[in-house]
A and B are shown apart, each in its own frame.
Chain A
Amino acid sequence: MAARTILRNEWRLLMADRPLKIVLGLFVVLLGYALTNGVVWLRFQERTVQATQTGNAERIHAFGQELEAIENGAEPSSPFADPRSPLVLGGPSGSHTAVLEPGPLTALAVGQSDLLPYYYDVNVYTNESSFHQNGEVENPLNLMVGRFDLTFVAVYLLPLLVLALSFNVLSEEREQGTLALTLSQPVSARTVVAVKLAFRAFLVAGMVLAVSLLGALATGGFGSPGRLLLWSATIVTYALFWFVLAAWVNTLRRSSAWNATVLVGAWLVLVVVLPAALNAAASLLHPLPSRVEMITAQREASNDAVNRRSELLARYLEDHPEMAEGVVADEPGLGALSWAATDAVNRRLEEVTAEHDARRDDQIALVRRYRFLSPAILAQEALLDAAGTGDARFADFQFQVRAFAEQWREFFVPAILAGEEMSARVLPDLPRFRLKDEEPAEVARRATVPLAALGGLLVLVSTGAGIGLGRVRGAD
């Protein structure tokens, strides 16, 4: 009964508060803009994926036609692009593009999808340097500040709105004198504050969730109900964390101005400073090797390999005796020599990139170890995982592309070494990349950690707020 009364009063107070209505309206506009951004990015990604798939089919078709024509006596269109050569059919002009389909909720969280490549042109020359490049031309401002998507609004701006709505949830009642009259009624401060915050939380989280569900509806996100549930649970938990933190600060019996200062300070530390400090610490403690170093190593290895091709081929065949069949050791073809040089460059690159990857892993490990300090990091991690645009899905995609590149090499390298010619008959047998996307259970298992940690922080601040509210009396 008391809860219903307080809820009705909150609604009246909201309806009578024009500035607050303007702020809420502005927030809805921001949500709409963020969703639009996400949808625009998703559509762009879908078009790119479609184009790559069409490109794969068209290349095979074109090669098939040319190979058939050559078999019927026609000359190749260019002696340097003769599709009978395995270095051509399996090389850059015959690349197969391996694609990561957009995450199920990409429209809600662009996440890493505009930073990490979601497609790779795989050919026999694909090596580690291929995984350290991003071919997409991106707006530098987006790269610097990230895209203005729903995740950005939820992680960075939602706490500010929550704080604007709740920094004075109790102090205002005290300052305007209504607390004494309220608490002279048979209702506790805990009930009053809990219902007030529940109303505001319902309003704020409800707006974010409504826009999220709208976005999911428009982009097919309802096909992944588990991810949508995880997304919603993260939004609610994160919003509640900030509401309850505000309640806790309110129980310290200070002025509204003091509450606002402390809460904005908390936002600054937890949302801005801590994540930035963690990134800075990771870069400082585990600096990544210079990209220039990688390029220089690749160039040096290339020059060296070209000069020692015969020696390298002999060593390669020693290491890969299964590939030696058909290779004329005394008079190796140009293809075999070229491949030996390529392999030597790849090995050198693996050494350089292994160091890079190890440092990168150290950085990630450091951030993961201390992410529990910042609810913003936890929320972002859970939201991106829910959307399918987090690190883990991209890492898994890259892992599968590496395996596919190996499969591609295994298909073409024996022919390269043996100097064999390819025909139209091999085309149906060409390896094709088929992504094995992560299972919902895997996503749930991974996202449980940040979500549970966020829940733990919520329980912690709830305990503090609960104890503080228990001490609130009308004569404060």
Chain B
Amino acid sequence: MTESPTALLEARGLSKDYGDTRALDSLDLAIAPGEVYCLLGPNGAGKTTTINLFLGFVAPSAGRALVAGLDVSTHDRETKRLLAYIPEQVMLYRNLSGLENLEYFAALGGQGSLGRKRLTEILVEAGLERETVGRRVSAYSKGMRQKVGIAIAIAKEADALLLDEPTSGLDPKASNEFSALVERLRERGVAVLMATHDLFRAKDTGTRVGIMRYGRLVTELSTAEIGHADLERIYLEHMQADTQANGGSP
């Protein structure tokens, strides 16, 4: 069933329960092509659950996750063809090189025809030093693995990008390069959903931010309309308000 063709990523009343715990509560969200939506919130707010629902990694308890109008629950493969995903920690095959890992995941994602030369260029574009692409991943730092993850996403040429705290553990320079990369993808019309703790990066990279707390999207802001300080203030207000509402417990 195809719906809302204008939104590439869409959540409608999306909820997820783990036993008695509601991890995500009736999330409504629509991300258009060329938009970078940053989900902010503390641990356990439901950011990663949202991404997992879009990836079909978990089944929703209620509501629907749609990618290009296709329900993820019923169109698993079709929606995954449209998505690229970079987890918080990109884990790769340690005994293979960065290039071999990229070759594998790119081929799985449907880009098997990309030659080694092009794949090397993509790795360099993602920020990896050219001379390191042939080294075994076991010798890579976390940042280098993250760059391979970015390269996998670039190689896939996906319509939508799901990022789960992708700059966690990256040095400032790498984080900055990553933001620039996201910006380039946005300009190409890619819809980006990024879960992050980094308010600065969210303001800098995102076109919209959503603040989540206890599985609920408590507010949505346009980054064009607020400054860094405003975002920090609003975020903290929501955290404190929720803490008070919950009798002082975080």
- Chain A residues close to B by CB (< 8 Å): 1-2, 5-6, 8-9, 12-13, 16-17, 176-178, 180-188, 473-475
Contact = CB atoms under 8 A, between A and B. Distances in A.
Given A184-B83, A473-B56, A178 B91 contact: yes
B77 interface: yes
Nearest to B78: A186
A17 B94 CA distance: 10
Interface string B99-120: 0100011011110100000000
B81 interface: yes
Contacts of A17: 95
Interface string B69-90: 0000000111011011101011
Given A184-B55, A474-B55, A475-B52, A13 B108 contact: no
B92 interface: yes
Contact of B104 (A5, A176, A475): A5
Given A177-B91, A184-B83, A2 B57 contact: no
Contact of B96 (A13, A180, A183): A13
B200 interface: no
Contacts of A8: 104, 107
Nearest to A9: B104
Nearest to B164: A180
B152 interface: yes
Nearest to A1: B112
19 contacts: A1-B110, A5-B112, A6-B108, A8-B104, A8-B107, A9-B96, A12-B96, A16-B96, A176-B94, A177-B90, A178-B91, A181-B91, A183-B57, A185-B109, A186-B78, A187-B108, A473-B57, A475-B55, A475-B57
A186 B91 contact: no
Nearest to A182: B108
B46 to A, nearest CB: 13
A180 B87 contact: yes
Contact of A185 (B92, B108, B149): B108
A6 B104 CA distance: 8
Interface residues of B, number: 35
A399 to B, nearest CB: 59
B58 interface: yes
Contact of A474 (B57, B93, B94, B112): B57
A474 B52 contact: yes
A1 B100 CA distance: 17
A338 B247 CA distance: 110
Given A13-B96, A474-B52, A186 B81 contact: yes
Given A9-B100, A13-B96, 16 more contacts: A1-B107, A5-B112, A8-B104, A8-B107, A177-B87, A178-B93, A181-B85, A184-B57, A186-B77, A186-B81, A186-B108, A188-B76, A473-B59, A474-B55, A474-B57, A475-B57
A5 B108 contact: yes
Given A5-B112, A473-B57, A185 B80 contact: yes
Contacts of A176: 91, 93-94
B87 A181 contact: yes
A262 to B, nearest CB: 25
B58 A473 contact: yes
Given A16-B95, A475-B57, A2 B108 contact: yes
A177 B101 CA distance: 13
Interface string B149-175: 100100000000010000000000000
Contacts of B96: 9, 12-13, 16
Contacts of A184: 55, 57, 80, 83-85, 162
A475 B23 CA distance: 14
A180 to B, nearest CB: 6
Give the interface centre of B58, B92, B93, B112 by most chain A CB atoms within 10 Å.
B93
A188 B78 CA distance: 12
Contacts of A5: 104, 107-108, 112
Contacts of A474: 52, 55-57
Contacts of B83: 184
A180 B57 CA distance: 8
Nearest to A174: B91
A383 to B, nearest CB: 36
A355 B220 CA distance: 90
Nearest to A476: B57
A176 B78 CA distance: 26
Nearest to B136: A16
A186 B93 contact: no
A192 to B, nearest CB: 9
Contacts of A186: 76-78, 80-81, 108-110
